[in-house]
Amino acid sequence: MPDRTRPAELAALTSIAAQVNCTQDLDEILAGALQTTLEVIGEDSGEIFLLDEETGDLILHTHAGLSDSFVAAEAVVPAGQCVCGRAVQSGEIALVADITAHPARSRAACLREGFHSCVRLPLLARGQVLGLLNIQSRNQREFTQADVDLLTAVGNQIGIAIANAQLIDDAERRRATLDSVMNSLVDGLILLDKRDRIVYVNPRAQEILDLPVLEGAGHTLDDLDRAIGARVARPRRTLGQLRAALADPQSTPSVELALTAPAPRTVQARFFSIHEAGGGSLGLGILIRDITREKELDEMKSQLLSTVSHELRTPLASIKGFATTLLRDDVEWDDASRREFLSIIDQESDRLGELIGNLLDMSRIEAGTLRIEPEPADLRPIIQATAAEFRMLSRAHDIEVDLPTALPAVLADPRRARQVLRNLVENAVKYSPDGGPITITARVTSGEVQTSVADRGIGIEESQLAHIFDRFYQVDSASTRKVGGSGLGLSICQAIIEAHRGKLWVESRPGLGSTFHFTLPLAR
Ligand code: ADP
């Protein structure tokens, strides 16, 4: 029986309590507590297990004075097994005075370690078992009531330490999960406290609004308004005004901000109140959504409707008009007139077909399903056939072709290459209303063939050059309005050429004409 005094016991308890207070590292606390307990109880071997809440198994966490093979065998004590398991289930301390007489699972192993007696002490906090402290004795020791009292007091301290560590762990895990959620949000989130001070800005809000760091430095909603104010093109209501409107129960606390920089984008900011469980207000949240794409799609839809209704109506009206004329019973048309009417119907049907084809292509491009089937293709016959076709269609234009003697094959979808070329030559004809030369040339550059279509037509203002490849874009001038069109041709051509990894661009001078160039890779 070791010589133990009351002050020594108190010192042990104080030491364990101090360790609990000065570190949050559970491993460190448990190792220290085991060591102190062994010292005060006068033994040299023991273990602390933690209870796995899900399985009920005991998992060895720290140990002292044990052989490696014993530790390996004791790493996990299955739920309910042995004296250990029963101590955990009952929540009561278990004393084994003579291991040799005890029918325990690990009796042989205990005897190999030289143990004679042992104590199994459940570690509790708030009435719940969290783990187990084992002390083994290699002496002929019988644990006394004084030992039990001391160990119980020590066990309570360790139990509290485990509970605290688990609480901290739990809180940290929740915080980390919350952080991951906030960082993964597709939308931006800004949180304000009750005095409108910014307490949190998630990375997405920072990115969408291109904000400086505003959280945690006493910045307020006004600072946020100032940070974006200069870049808001359409401030129907600022965030500050919106905040004020929250007091009005009828208000819809949402605003659309058209930002000009760093890139033009439309952003929707929506306010919501944050309440604590008791119902009191904690502050406000602002959800920030980048709705640029949705706005574009909306705009595209309305443009599509107006283009379709306008551009379909014109050819349809003339097809209907000439067909009705031909069907009149009261008039006898001569062959020449009938032929003329039929050829107008034919041309207008082609126009309709082309427009519908363009709309289909556009929707394929939008959906990302535009397919090209590249193969080694010879551009010479494509260029010559297109020139011949337009020579027939327009007598006012002098369509010339200028090709090198050797024009190597390109890697292209021949149908799509023809579509691009036809579109450019058609535009050249359309936008040189007074006629004149249109030249199609091709030349080999590094790894590519560059094809160019030059006209001496109306040309394009410099300010419009950046836009003519946008879908539905048409230069709004009297001369372009006269010729009609959907504004889809060039954007489709660009998508087709880019799908071939080529480039499409234009050089133009108003009044002097335009030259469109596109490249296609050589078929090597
Ligand atoms: P569309 O011809 O149906 O209007 P496009 O996408 O083919 O649509 O062309 C977009 C705009 O680019 C046209 O509306 C026109 O203003 C301008 N454009 C295209 N080609 C030429 C050209 N060769 N000369 C002058 N302007 C052109």
Stretch among 281-295, 320-334, 412-426, 464-478 having the lowest mean pLDDT: 464-478
Higher pLDDT, 29 or 459: 459
Higher pLDDT, 305 or 190: 190
- For residue 458 and ligand 1, the question of a CB distance below 6 A is answered with yes
pLDDT at 250: 58
Query: Residue 364: is its pLDDT beyond 50?
Result: yes
- Band of residue 215 on the pLDDT scale cut at 50, 70, 90: confident
Query: Residue 17: is its pLDDT beyond 60?
Result: yes
Q: How far is the CA of 51 from the centre of ligand 1 (A)?
A: 76
Query: Residue 251: is its pLDDT beyond 50?
Result: yes
Please state the atom number of ligand 1 nearest to the C-alpha of residue 490: 6
**Token digits of residue 397:** 């234009």
Q: How far is the CA of 291 from the centre of ligand 1 (A)?
A: 29
Residue range 6-12: mean pLDDT, rounded: 73
| Chain mean pLDDT for the chain | 87
CA 523 to chain centre: 38
- For residue 480 and ligand 1, the question of a CB distance below 6 A is answered with yes
pLDDT at 479: 58
Query: Residue 1: is its pLDDT beyond 50?
Result: no
- For residue 514 and ligand 1, the question of a CB distance below 6 A is answered with yes
* Residue 430 dihedral angles phi and psi, to the nearest 5°: -60, -40
State which amino acid sits at residue 208.
I
- For residue 489 and ligand 1, the question of a CB distance below 6 A is answered with yes
pLDDT in tens, 118-133: 999 999 988 899 999 9
| Residues forming a β-bridge with 254 | 270
Query: Residue 407: is its pLDDT beyond 80?
Result: yes
- For residue 474 and ligand 1, the question of a CB distance below 6 A is answered with yes
Range with the largest mean pLDDT of 224-228, 247-251, 493-497 = 493-497
Q: How far is the CA of 476 from the centre of ligand 1 (A)?
A: 10
pLDDT in tens, 470-498: 877 777 655 555 666 778 899 999 999 99
Residue range 35-56: mean pLDDT, rounded: 91
Q: Among residues 376, 515, 410, which one has the least CA distance to residue 455?
A: 515
Residue range 416-437: mean pLDDT, rounded: 95
Q: How far is CA 363 from CA 258, 302, 370, in A?
A: 27, 14, 9
Pairing of strands 58-64, 76-77: antiparallel
pLDDT at 50: 93
Residue range 424-439: mean pLDDT, rounded: 94
Question: SS3 of 521, please?
Answer: strand
Ramachandran class of 369: left when φ > 0, alpha when ψ lies in -120 to 50, beta otherwise: alpha
**Token digits of residue 451:** 């094809």
Query: Residue 500: is its pLDDT beyond 70?
Result: yes
pLDDT at 386: 96
- The beta-strand segments (E) located in 138-243 are 188-192, 198-201
Higher pLDDT, 397 or 221: 397
Query: Residue 203: is its pLDDT beyond 80?
Result: yes
Q: Among residues 171, 108, 162, which one has the least CA distance to residue 130?
A: 162
Q: How far is the CA of 426 from the centre of ligand 1 (A)?
A: 10
Q: What is the DSSP code string of 175-194?
A: HHHHHHHHHH-SSEEEEE-T
Q: How far is CA 261 from CA 22, 224, 289, 334, 466, in A?
A: 51, 15, 16, 66, 18
pLDDT at 242: 67
Higher pLDDT, 119 or 367: 119
Exposed/middle/buried for residue 234 (C-beta within 10 Å: 0-12, 13-18, 19+): exposed
Q: How far is the CA of 485 from the centre of ligand 1 (A)?
A: 8
| CA dihedral of residues 8, 12, 17, 23 (deg, nearest 10) | 140
| Residues forming a β-bridge with 200 | 191
Q: How far is the CA of 427 from the centre of ligand 1 (A)?
A: 6
What gap in Å lies between CA 85 and CA 89, rounded to an integer? 6
Exposed/middle/buried for residue 3 (C-beta within 10 Å: 0-12, 13-18, 19+): exposed
| CA dihedral of residues 400, 402, 406, 409 (deg, nearest 10) | -70
Query: If you count DSSP H runs as helices and E runs as strands, how many of each does the chain have, helices first?
Result: 16, 18
Sequence-separated (6 or more) residues with CB below 8 Å from residue 258: 232, 233, 234, 264, 265, 266
Our mutation pick for probing the ligand 1 site, out of 355, 427, 483, 494, counting the most ligand atoms within 8 A of Cβ, is: 427
Residue burial 491-511, b: 16+ Cβ < 10 Å; e: rest: bbbbbbbebbebebebebeee
pLDDT at 492: 92
Question: Would you tell me how many other CB atoms lie within 10 Å of the CB of residue 408?
Answer: 13
CA 92 to chain centre: 53
Sheet holding 448-455, edge to edge: 397-402, 436-445, 448-455, 513-521, 504-509
Q: Among residues 358, 355, 383, which one has the least CA distance to residue 492?
A: 358
What gap in Å lies between CA 365 and CA 243, rounded to an integer? 41
Please state the atom number of ligand 1 nearest to the C-alpha of residue 474: 14
- Band of residue 87 on the pLDDT scale cut at 50, 70, 90: confident
